[in-house]
Amino acid sequence: MKLAGSLTEKPLLSQREINALIQAARPSDQRKGLKIKRGARAGEFPTSSPGSGTDLADLRAYHPGDDTRHIDWRASARSRQPVLRTWFSELNHPFFVVLDRRAAMRFGTRCRLKVTQAARLAISLLAREARSGREVGGLIMDTPCHWVPPRHGMGAALRLIDLMISAAPPCNPEAAQGIWSKALSELSQRLPEGAELILISDFSDLDSQDEFSLRSLGGRLAARAVQIADPLELSMTLPCPLQLQWGNRQLRCQHRHADELQQYREQEAHYQSLLGERFVRAAIPLMRLTTQQDDLQEIMESIST
């Protein structure tokens, strides 16, 4: 028996399921729960999104996915590379979701895949914040990754949702190595201070090398993390033989020996302890959501407080 990254040839969720999640999402107070840095004065936080401010803040290098309407062509000509104008916003902190769709997330033994549960939570959060009038954006961690800059309106949320629920074809786990380091660095460079960030993943390959970038995000953003877990990963009650693979780690149980399962439990408990410590040092609250939880209301409320 082998339990590893699964794949789907159809969207992760039906349109009916998506509509139900969107309809159940209630608008929230966009200032509730934000860790506003350095006094939170109006006009303090830069953004490259249109309509968020009128005062020029700074110039920075253009990144793929940025709004081309904000390219400063004169500055670009001088520097011989695309340069973007950024603007001071008026405390309209964008809401940004990072969704992990890689191989380790395409696993599930109860109810649904981990990536499907992650998408359900992301859809609910995006719909709630878009209805509250906030800019919403996201980073889809896949092969390749997709960056969607923050935009106003439900249309921006729906664009992200389409990417999140698309079919999950086979992918090479090795091709996804090092993505956390790149993603965290990109988030730190692109998101304005005070933005609200939700990281949704199983964090199976988040290691000590990523901790510095994680601390940087926790220091300047209102960041939270939600770990998606399958019940099997928490209990390990299935019979052997089996092979488990998640991230760069794997376990083979050839016989129904209790000591092999106990070894896995100890390894997993140790990793979970290290993971929790990393998020604590980064000042980023870490919550857990299992794949068999149908009602998302409790964790939605936790993210709002």
| Cβ atoms 278, 203 nearer than 8 A | no
| Cβ atoms 206, 275 nearer than 8 A | yes
* Partners of residue 137 on adjacent β-strands: 96
- pTM comes to 0.74
What is the pLDDT, as a whole number, of residue 85? Answer: 80
Task: List the strands of the sheet with 95-100, edge to edge.
Answer: 146-151, 136-141, 95-100, 196-201, 222-229, 286-290
Number of separate helices (H) and strands (E) present in the chain: 9, 12
How far apart are alpha carbons 87 and 33 in whole angstroms? 24
Task: Tell me the domain boundaries of the chain.
Answer: 2-34+91-304, 54-88
What is the pLDDT, as a whole number, of residue 294? Answer: 94
Omega of the bond leading into 64 within 30 degrees of 0 (cis) = no
What is the chain's pLDDT, residue by residue, as a tens digit (305 residues)? 334 444 457 889 999 999 999 999 888 654 443 443 333 333 333 444 444 454 555 677 887 767 788 888 888 888 888 988 875 444 458 999 999 998 889 888 878 999 999 999 999 999 999 998 899 999 999 878 899 999 999 999 999 999 999 987 666 666 667 789 889 988 988 898 889 999 999 998 898 889 999 999 998 899 999 999 998 887 755 555 666 665 566 666 665 556 766 777 788 888 889 999 999 999 999 999 999 999 999 999 888 76
What is the pLDDT, as a whole number, of residue 101? Answer: 93
| Topology given in CATH for the domain delimited by 2-34+91-304 | Rossmann fold (3.40.50)
